[in-house]
Amino acid sequence: MDVGSDHLLRVHQVHGASVVVQRTGQARAEHAEADVILSDDPSVVPSIQTADCVPLLIADSRTGSVAAAHAGWRGVSLRVPAVTVRALAEAFGSRPSDLVVAIGPAIGSCCYEVGTDVRSQFEAAGFPAPDLSRWFHSEPDQSPTNPPLNGLRNRTGHWFLDFWTAARDQLIEAGVPAGQVFAAELCTASHPDAFCSYRRDGSRSGCLAAAIRKFKA
């Protein structure tokens, strides 16, 4: 990417579902409070930071417009993936069928233990039971690719949240073709040599950056 760090557009992420729209020729929306950044300006590189939360990068293959979004469990319960698809349609006329989405590394259901309070928020948000049963697992997923953190096991009142599936389901529900959603399926907590993880390392974890920009023809 032939752009310097001064082209990065960073916002103040607040675990919500607010959208900031960066239009070509407008002043940079720096320091806005938002978790979704849209842009049709090739000189600006929307960027979000995560350390377990889901980074979403979306490109419109027809118009070239892009989005970067950040979603932790609050953001996923607020439907950030679907909000981003709808916002691209409203701001730039993007059709969901033209969108290509990358779901970056995020904590997986191998490691992301949550309490009943988190599941209750999803229930209150109105997600149907089949969604909840796909997204909340009763025990940590065992996968050689993403080994669970030490000591995790099935416990009453605890769940393992599957961010990757929740994000994918919401994108597809919003109209993005399943074949155009690409998930890294790499757990940030399982891979200390590669990724930052707040769950694993706490406040000293650092952050991963995910960035995208409109391709300048």
Binding site for Zn ion (CB under 5 A): 108, 110-111, 146, 187, 189-190
Tell me the closest approach of the beta carbon of residue 121 to Zn ion, in angstroms: 22
Structure tokens belonging to residue 147: 């080994």
Q: CB of 95 within 8 A of CB of 79?
A: no
At what angle are helices 163-173 and 80-92 packed, to 10 degrees? 40
The CB-nearest residue to Zn ion is: 187
**Nearer to Zn ion among residue 11 and residue 187 (C-beta):** 187
**Nearer to Zn ion among residue 52 and residue 98 (C-beta):** 52
Tell me the closest approach of the beta carbon of residue 192 to Zn ion, in angstroms: 11
**Nearer to Zn ion among residue 66 and residue 187 (C-beta):** 187
Give the CA distances from residue 107 to residues 27, 140, 147, 163, in Å, rounded to whole numbers and listed in that order: 34, 12, 11, 7
DSSP class of residue 33? Answer: B
Distance CA 156, CA 105 (A): 28
Tell me the closest approach of the beta carbon of residue 137 to Zn ion, in angstroms: 12
**Nearer to Zn ion among residue 123 and residue 201 (C-beta):** 201
Tell me the closest approach of the beta carbon of residue 71 to Zn ion, in angstroms: 17
